[in-house]
């Protein structure tokens, strides 16, 4: 398999994982506000309005488990900066913010790590 084919497969797996995660949040009463929202600071996979907060979710597709945090501190900072930009632009008000890490395994099982990164 070529590098381009691997990239395309990975991209499609990521889209499928985001679809699964979005359905899971919706089943829990969430409303999807944005998918793959971009700004100069970075991209946010899913933005969800839950009854009690706004969730910024980073979705990862993994064939195995996760032993360590799959995001570096630099990646978390980018996500937080993008979330700050979103809250200003979308005028989300004083709703609490939550940063979740969502891992989808090869079988489609969803594991949501709520508050994976605390907002400062």
pTM: 0.87
Find out whether 46 and 31 touch, Cβ atoms under 8 Å. no
**What value, to the nearest 5°, has the Cα angle with vertex 43 and ends 61 and 17?**
20
* Partners of residue 54 on adjacent β-strands: 49, 97
All structural domains of the chain, each given as residue ranges with its CATH number in brackets, are 3-117 (3.40.1350.10)
- Please, what's the largest Cα pairwise distance for the chain? 48
How far apart are alpha carbons 75 and 40 in whole angstroms? 14
Residue 76, SS3 per DSSP: helix
Per-residue confidence in pLDDT tens, the chain, 120 aa: 899 998 888 888 888 899 999 999 999 999 999 999 999 999 999 999 999 999 999 998 877 655 555 778 898 899 999 999 999 998 877 889 999 999 988 788 888 999 987 544
């Amino acid at each position: 398999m070529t590098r381009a084919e691997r990239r395309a497969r990975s991209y499609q797996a990521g889209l499928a994982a985001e679809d699964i995660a979005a359905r899971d949040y919706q089943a829990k009463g969430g409303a999807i506000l944005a998918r793959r929202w971009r700004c100069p600071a970075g991209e946010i996979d899913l933005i969800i309005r839950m009854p009690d907060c706004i969730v910024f979710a980073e979705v990862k597709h993994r064939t195995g488990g996760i032993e360590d945090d799959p995001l570096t501190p630099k990646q978390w900072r980018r996500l937080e900066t993008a979330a700050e930009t979103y809250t200003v632009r979308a005028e989300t008000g004083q709703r609490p913010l939550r940063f979740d890490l969502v891992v989808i395994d090869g079988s489609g099982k969803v594991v949501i790590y709520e508050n994976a990164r605390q907002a400062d």
